[in-house]
């Protein structure tokens, strides 16, 4: 039997007419034209096929091109080893286009081999490289946000990826932070180097690794990068919680598009607002609890499908989304707790049905920051990492071992 939940949710946005003039011109990422310059940020543990489906459908419901939706990062080594979970990360919905993957790695040859797999086996249409991850298990190995500090290594990785993808016409982009800390900023140099090596766009999360997710993203840095990188799009990222924030970012920085992460956790309908806003429409989705509950259930169904029918796995993965979905809604502590402990779809249905589904959209309480925050942290780096911009021979030898074989944040 087909339930209404098997199909795209009829969001309030779908009923409203599209109008207005686009705020920016389409985003051109190599051969890909993305009419609405909005990108779902890759988020490990979040932007899998299930969640991307909800975000994309919301974007489409506004009646415009929905934008670009990047999968969770996949580590190059895991992909080269053809690890089952790594291969699962690089799977896309049947109608998902463009298919966008993100690769993480610290060894040029392994990154090149991973890109060869993705592009050569036609597994994605776009590949982003992760130079922004601040988590200790990544930076400790010289990866993510720590990597652009080593100029030659950064150059070699970007070049390996661009060269491996070029024969297949797959564009490569980079996503980075400002640098390791305020005394070790790398983004302007890295942006220019990547541009000269043939990347199709550069994205900046306007924080340093030391800032982690604390404080405010410094959008001013996005404006500086836009001045430095002249021939490919510059995308701005950090602290976009609403469509209005996104418009403000492009106005203040001159960015060619926006990348949105935590703002859409538990509210995939933000992509309807974003698509509308960039197409000059004031349409905004403000769901009541019934619509939120339907989205959660559909998320659950999609999650189970993503994990090949494994309900336990799907429900465990869904649990972390509950608090995000319910932020600001009138749902008591006990009911929230129960929803965060579901094991089966039947339990999920039962516990959602037990909510007061007539509760309306709660206004400001549902808005604003969500997801990771925290305080600044001294980045964990390999011993002596900051002493030189060049890689020591000893460390170079360690790089291949340093490739992580599992995906991180
Ligand atoms: C749970 C989580 C997982 C993330 N995983 C990735 C990742 O796999 N690759 C990446 O480049 N950035 C990752 N990020 C960073 C986001 O892509 C984004 O740059 C960051 O959250 C700032 O944007 P925001 O303020 O819109 O959230 C992650 C962030 C979060 C919160």
Return the CATH number at 41. Answer: 3.20.20.70
Mean pLDDT, residues 201-214: 97
| Atom from ligand 1 closest to the CA of residue 409 | 5
Residue 261 Cα to ligand 1 middle (Å): 6
Q: CA 379, CA 377: separation in Å to the nearest integer?
A: 6
Domain check: are 271 and 299 in the same one?
no
Domain check: are 250 and 303 in the same one?
no
For residue 159, what pLDDT is reported?
A: 98
Domain check: are 108 and 232 in the same one?
yes
Mean pLDDT, residues 1-16: 41
| Atom from ligand 1 closest to the CA of residue 130 | 11
| Atom from ligand 1 closest to the CA of residue 408 | 8
* Minimal-distance CA residue to ligand 1 atom 21: 261
For residue 301, what pLDDT is reported?
A: 98
Domain check: are 343 and 382 in the same one?
no
| Pocket lining: 238 vs ligand 1, CB cutoff 6 Å | yes
pLDDT band of 98, cuts 50, 70, 90: very high
Mean pLDDT, residues 322-340: 96
For residue 405, what pLDDT is reported?
A: 55
Q: CA 205, CA 198: separation in Å to the nearest integer?
A: 20
| Pocket lining: 46 vs ligand 1, CB cutoff 6 Å | yes
Which range, of 218-227, 273-282, 368-377, averages the lowest pLDDT? Answer: 368-377
Query: pLDDT tens for residues 216-238?
Result: 999 999 999 999 999 999 999 99
* Minimal-distance CA residue to ligand 1 atom 18: 261
Q: CA 274, CA 237: separation in Å to the nearest integer?
A: 14
Tell whether 365 is covered by a domain.
no
Nearest to 40 by CA among 28, 24, 57: 57
For residue 5, what pLDDT is reported?
A: 37
Peptide bond into 187 cis (omega under 30): no
* Minimal-distance CA residue to ligand 1 atom 19: 205
- Containing domain of residue 352, as a range? 289-360
Domain check: are 238 and 189 in the same one?
yes
| Atom from ligand 1 closest to the CA of residue 144 | 11
Tell whether 7 is covered by a domain.
no
Domain check: are 301 and 166 in the same one?
no
Mean pLDDT, residues 347-354: 98
Residue 199 Cα to ligand 1 middle (Å): 20
Residue 262 Cα to ligand 1 middle (Å): 7
Domain check: are 395 and 312 in the same one?
no
**Both structure tokens of 208:** 């340093």
* Minimal-distance CA residue to ligand 1 atom 14: 43
pLDDT for residue 276 is more than 60? yes
For residue 20, what pLDDT is reported?
A: 81
pLDDT for residue 399 is more than 90? no
Tell whether 369 is covered by a domain.
no
Residue 220 Cα to ligand 1 middle (Å): 19
Mean pLDDT, residues 378-402: 85
Domain check: are 85 and 114 in the same one?
yes
Domain check: are 81 and 194 in the same one?
yes
pLDDT for residue 102 is more than 70? yes
Query: Collapsing DSSP states into helix, strand and coil, what is residue 395?
Result: helix
Query: pLDDT tens for residues 47-96?
Result: 999 999 999 999 999 899 999 999 999 999 999 999 999 999 999 999 99
Residue 259 Cα to ligand 1 middle (Å): 10
Tell whether 140 is covered by a domain.
yes
Tell whether 4 is covered by a domain.
no
| Pocket lining: 218 vs ligand 1, CB cutoff 6 Å | no
Name residue, tokens 């024969």: 167
Residue 265 is classified by DSSP as T
Pocket test for ligand 1, best of 78, 239, 261 (most atoms within 8 A of CB): 261
| Atom from ligand 1 closest to the CA of residue 207 | 22
pLDDT for residue 253 is more than 60? yes
Domain check: are 196 and 302 in the same one?
no
Q: CA 291, CA 15: separation in Å to the nearest integer?
A: 15
* Minimal-distance CA residue to ligand 1 atom 2: 43
Domain check: are 385 and 240 in the same one?
yes
* Minimal-distance CA residue to ligand 1 atom 13: 43
Residue percentage of the chain with pLDDT more than 90? 89
Tell whether 18 is covered by a domain.
no
Tell whether 22 is covered by a domain.
no
**Neighbour-count burial of 183, counting CB atoms closer than 10 A to its CB (0-12 exposed, 13-18 middle, 19+ buried):** exposed
Domain check: are 213 and 234 in the same one?
yes
* Minimal-distance CA residue to ligand 1 atom 6: 43
Pocket test for ligand 1, best of 44, 70, 206, 241 (most atoms within 8 A of CB): 44
pLDDT band of 393, cuts 50, 70, 90: confident
Task: Return the beta strands (E) in 142-200 as ranges.
Answer: 172-179
**Both structure tokens of 200:** 């199709």
Higher pLDDT, 391 or 353: 353
Higher pLDDT, 25 or 10: 25
Alpha helices in 166-306 (DSSP H): 187-197, 219-228, 243-253, 270-278, 289-306
Mean pLDDT, residues 198-202: 98
pLDDT band of 19, cuts 50, 70, 90: low
Dihedral sign, Cα of residue 50, residue 55, residue 59, residue 62: positive
Tell whether 21 is covered by a domain.
no
**Which residues have C-beta within 8 Å of that of residue 18, sequence separation ≥ 6?**
62, 63, 64, 276, 279, 281, 283
Give 17's Cβ-side CA count (13 Å radius).
Answer: 2
> Do residues 205 and 238 touch, judged by C-beta distance below 8 A?
yes
Query: pLDDT tens for residues 123-169?
Result: 999 999 999 999 999 999 999 999 999 999 999 999 999 999 999 99
**Both structure tokens of 367:** 């808005």
pLDDT band of 336, cuts 50, 70, 90: very high
Active site residues: 133
How high is the mean pLDDT of the chain? Answer: 93
Residue 81 Cα to ligand 1 middle (Å): 25
Domains: count for the chain? 2
């Amino acid at each position: 039997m087909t339930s209404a939940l098997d199909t795209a949710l009829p969001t309030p946005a779908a009923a409203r007419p599209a109008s207005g003039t686009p705020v920016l011109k389409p985003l051109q990422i190599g051969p890909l034209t993305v009419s609405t310059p909005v990108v779902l940020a890759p988020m490990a543990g979040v932007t899998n096929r299930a969640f991307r489906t909800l975000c994309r459908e919301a974007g489409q419901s506004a009646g415009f091109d929905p934008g670009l939706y990047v999968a969770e990062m996949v580590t190059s080594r895991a992909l080269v080893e053809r690890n089952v979970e790594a291969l699962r990360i690089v799977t896309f919905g049947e109608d998902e286009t463009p298919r966008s993957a993100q690769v993480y790695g610290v060894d040029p040859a392994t990154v090149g081999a991973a890109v060869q797999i993705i592009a050569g086996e036609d597994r994605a249409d776009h590949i982003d490289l992760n130079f922004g991850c601040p988590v200790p298990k990544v930076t400790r190995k010289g990866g993510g946000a720590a990597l652009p500090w080593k100029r030659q290594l950064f150059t070699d990785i970007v070049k390996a990826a661009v060269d491996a993808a070029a024969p297949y016409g797959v564009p490569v982009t980079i996503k980075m932070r400002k640098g390791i800390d305020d005394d070790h900023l790398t983004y302007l140099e890295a942006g220019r180097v990547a541009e000269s090596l043939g990347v199709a766009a550069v994205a900046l999360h306007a924080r340093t690794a030391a800032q982690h997710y604390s404080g405010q993203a410094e959008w001013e840095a996005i404006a500086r990068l836009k001045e430095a990188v002249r021939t490919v799009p510059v995308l701005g990222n950090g602290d976009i919680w609403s469509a209005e924030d996104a418009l403000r970012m492009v106005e203040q920085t001159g960015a060619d598009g926006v990348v949105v992460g935590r703002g859409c956790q538990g509210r995939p309908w933000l992509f309807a607002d974003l698509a509308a806003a960039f197409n000059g429409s004031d349409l905004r989705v403000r769901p009541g609890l019934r619509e939120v509950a339907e989205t959660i259930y559909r998320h659950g169904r999609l999650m189970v499908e993503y994990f090949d029918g494994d309900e336990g796995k799907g429900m465990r993965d869904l649990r972390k989304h509950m608090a995000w979905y319910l932020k600001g809604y009138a749902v008591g502590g006990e009911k929230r707790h129960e929803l965060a402990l579901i094991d089966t779809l039947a339990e999920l249905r039962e516990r959602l049905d037990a909510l007061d589904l007539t509760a309306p959209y709660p206004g400001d309480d549902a808005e604003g920051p969500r997801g990771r925050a925290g305080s600044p942290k001294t980045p964990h780096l390999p011993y002596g990492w900051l002493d030189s911009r060049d890689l020591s021979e000893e460390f170079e030898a360690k790089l291949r071992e340093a490739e992580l074989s599992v995906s991180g944040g």
